[in-house]
Structure 1
Amino acid sequence: MGLVVPAVLLRHPRYTVLVAVTFVIATLVLTAPSAPSVLLGSNVGLGSTSSLNSESWVEDAVREEEVRYGVMLKDRAAMVRKYGPTPESVQAYAYSTQFPEGLLYTLWDFYIPSFQCPHRVERLGTMGDGGKWVCGFERVAKQPECVIYSFGINEESSFEAALLTRSPGCQVWGYDFSVSRFGPEIESLPALKSRSHFHPYALSARDAHAPEASPPEYTLASLMAANNHTWIDVLKVDIEGAEFESLAQFVDDFSGGNGVLPVGQMQLEIHAREWSGYGDFAHFNVWWEKLERAGMRPFWTEANLVYLNIFKSGLMRVYWLQYSFLNVRGEHALVSDKYN
């Protein structure tokens, strides 16, 4: 028997197209899987799919991103060979006087934030200098307790205040030898100040806090031990170049062998200038790869355009960049399905 087509469809071909399209869409909806296993196309909303996806959706997403990150590492090695061919022969900042036209690059082009956080990424704190990009803080905020460490206050605490406001279980430990307290965003609000702890100490690669020390210097491991902490949920570091040796020591203290760096995520301002000792590519690359071997993966970056504008000149380089890192190791809220 042939297909019987209603007369109305023969008289109005547009209706025929509409019916066909509707039929195709309905078929796709009815035959599609109940939910995607992992959504990797966007940073927004992934955390809300946990009830639809498999029970291991977070860990699956992290594993898939690790594969993609491995591809980026190969691309970086190829870029080093192109401009090097070894790290020791790569210039951190290339100018047209050094290379033919079309071969310009910066240090930061080698270190792109290619790891995608499997949760919502958002900027907390004031717009402009002060705010930071964080991964999945809605998951951290659900914990009964969370620990925040902040190095470099400079009388501006909008980021720390935003974290405390979002999670009543969070407390923040702040360190900065150049000021005597947190910024007004915390100091002016008793509810936040009661969950904040400030010390005029310097983060360092050594412990030098004898009574005559000025300023007192502490390693991150020593501060955690003094505070009886075994884990930091959010670590913010903005210490004007001292981050290199301090964080290298942090990695050495905790992640040797199969150890896990005790931090969930890190918001870091990097100051890659000559005076820091890490203005050359090879030295910087060794330090960066040390973080990577410890499980730290950059998921966001933001240039500090405020200072670029302040010190603007024809030869000004972008020395300061904000990076946000996720620790893919350990068992914590951002990488483990046990926290769903």
Structure 2
Amino acid sequence: MAASWQRNPRYIVFIFVTILATLYLIGSFDGPPPSRHRFMPDHDLPDRVARAERIYNKLLLDRKDLIKKFGPTPNDVALFPPNKDPWPAYTVWDFFPAAFNCPHEIQRLGALGDGGKWVCGISRVETKPDCIVYSFGINYESSFEAEILAHTDRCQIWGYDFSVNAFGPEIPSSQAYRTHFRPYGLAGTDSGPDAPTKMYTIESLMKMNGHTHIDILKVDIERWEFETLAALIKPYVVSGKPLPFGQLQLEIHLWDMSFAEYLTWWEMLEAAGLRPFWTEPNLVYQNYNGDEGTTDLAEYSFLNIKGENIFIKDPTRRPLDEDEYGHGHGHVVGPTH
């Protein structure tokens, strides 16, 4: 008896088509796997940033209404009402929600307890050749910095804290060459040469290090953030120039401050282009203070929406070299700020 494929030509056609399809699929996967070093432009990024800004602008109107409700002026608003009057109750943080939508993935880097920070789009600096991170306030806990090193190939981290003499133990020895620590403090002005503690402004430290831009700036300096950031930001607000950093992870300490003072400081951040995309109260601080614990500490993460930073704009791209990754197509991140 003849084989069925000999009796029916349709079997021959089926086998032929199957072989061709198999060869096509094999050819489609030929060559090296996709490399995370190849830059993929994000054409929708400007639209997402613009949409998030429209949503945030609505919040500004809502804040004015809330101030009128509980004020009617900022000078009449209490940070934390001492009793149940007025009702419904509120706290200062209700006036400043993190209402800006990060246009990338949001990821917590570092410890789940005190020490970790929320970052918008760490993938954007994953292979950035000139990635710069500044971290103020170490206190022997460096899980945040260690995870930045783990998630990136080339980010260099500069850490500052006059109360300790090194990064925390979380930094692996294999990555220590990408970290730089100095026992300096951060302030609104530089200290004199005879000062017992060396204090510098952010701009002075950037000049000292030869930097013109910081991708990620972390600040946790026990209420000195008000003086320090005001000294840095005010000149940029006046000049209209974009701030020299892409995003800011900040712990805010509302000690001995009025609502009106805080509102003025916060609106300065907004005028400079900073938009909060994440917040959480510091419940560890509240818990450790027992019955006297307060909610006047909160973590905020801000995105800078002005300028050309990597989190809101695609960088300049260049073609891959033939021998750089083994294939000469696609793009990689080129030097950019």
Which interval holds the TM-score relative to the shorter structure? 0.7 to 0.9
Structure 2 residue matching 1:184: 3-state secondary structure: coil
* Residue 331 (structure 1) aligned with residue 326 (structure 2): no
Once the two structures are TM-superposed, the CA of residue 117 in structure 1 deviates from its matched residue by 0.1
Matched residue type, 1:114: A
What CA deviation, in whole Å up to 9, does each residue of 1:294-326 have, x standing for no partner? 00000000111111110021x532011000000
* Residue 291 (structure 1) aligned with residue 269 (structure 2): yes
Instruction: Note closer, same or farther for the CA distance 1:55–1:292 as it changes in structure 2 (3 Å cut).
Output: same
What are the equivalent positions in structure 2 for 1:179-258 lying under 5 Å apart?
179-186=164-171, 189-210=172-193, 212-258=194-240
Instruction: Note closer, same or farther for the CA distance 1:304–1:208 as it changes in structure 2 (3 Å cut).
Output: same
1:95 corresponding residue in structure 2: 82
What are the equivalent positions in structure 2 for 1:1-340 lying under 5 Å apart?
56-96=43-83, 99-100=85-86, 102-186=87-171, 189-210=172-193, 212-274=194-256, 279-313=257-291, 315-338=292-315
Q: Distance in 2 between the 1:55 and 1:117 partners? A: 14
What CA deviation, in whole Å up to 9, does each residue of 1:6-65 have, x standing for no partner? xxxxxxxxxxxxxxxxxxxxxxxxxxxxxxxxxxxxxxxxxxxx97xx964111111111
Structure 1 residue matching 2:290: 3-state secondary structure: coil
Q: Distance in 1 between the 2:42 and 2:296 partners? A: 43
Structure 2 residue matching 1:337: 3-state secondary structure: coil
Structure 1 residue matching 2:82: 3-state secondary structure: coil
Residue pair 2:285, 2:293 contacting (<8 A) in 1 also: no
Q: Distance in 2 between the 1:338 and 1:199 partners? A: 31
- Give the count of matched residue pairs: 279
Residue pair 1:254, 1:262 contacting (<8 A) in 2 also: no
Residue pair 2:79, 2:91 contacting (<8 A) in 1 also: yes
Structure 1 residue matching 2:238: 3-state secondary structure: coil
What CA deviation, in whole Å up to 9, does each residue of 1:239-276 have, x standing for no partner? 001000100111024443221101111100000111xx
Instruction: Note closer, same or farther for the CA distance 1:67–1:73 as it changes in structure 2 (3 Å cut).
Output: same
Once the two structures are TM-superposed, the CA of residue 148 in structure 1 deviates from its matched residue by 0.4
Residue pair 2:189, 2:201 contacting (<8 A) in 1 also: yes
Q: Distance in 2 between the 1:116 and 1:324 partners? A: 11
Matched residue type, 1:84: G
Once the two structures are TM-superposed, the CA of residue 145 in structure 1 deviates from its matched residue by 2.1
Bigger radius of gyration: 2
Q: Give the alignment's TM-score, normalised by structure 2.
A: 0.80
Q: Distance in 2 between the 1:191 and 1:330 partners? A: 35
Structure 1 residue matching 2:170: 3-state secondary structure: helix
Residue pair 1:95, 1:104 contacting (<8 A) in 2 also: no
Once the two structures are TM-superposed, the CA of residue 123 in structure 1 deviates from its matched residue by 0.3
Residue pair 1:93, 1:107 contacting (<8 A) in 2 also: yes
Once the two structures are TM-superposed, the CA of residue 146 in structure 1 deviates from its matched residue by 0.5
Q: Distance in 1 between the 2:111 and 2:315 partners? A: 32
Once the two structures are TM-superposed, the CA of residue 142 in structure 1 deviates from its matched residue by 2.4
> Which structure 1 residue ranges, 5 or more long, are not aligned?
1-49
Q: Distance in 2 between the 1:86 and 1:254 partners? A: 28
Q: Give the alignment's TM-score, normalised by structure 1.
A: 0.79
Residue pair 1:59, 1:337 contacting (<8 A) in 2 also: no
Matched residue type, 2:270: E
Residue pair 1:58, 1:118 contacting (<8 A) in 2 also: yes
User: Mean alpha-carbon deviation: is it higher for 136-145 or for 330-339?
Assistant: 330-339
Show structure 1 runs of 4+ deviating over 3 A. 337-340
Q: Distance in 1 between the 2:188 and 2:96 partners? A: 24
Matched residue type, 2:283: L
Structure 1 residue matching 2:133: 3-state secondary structure: strand
2:4 corresponding residue in structure 1: none
Q: Distance in 2 between the 1:105 and 1:305 partners? A: 17
> Which structure 2 residue ranges, 5 or more long, are not aligned?
1-38, 317-332
User: Mean alpha-carbon deviation: is it higher for 290-299 or for 136-145?
Assistant: 136-145
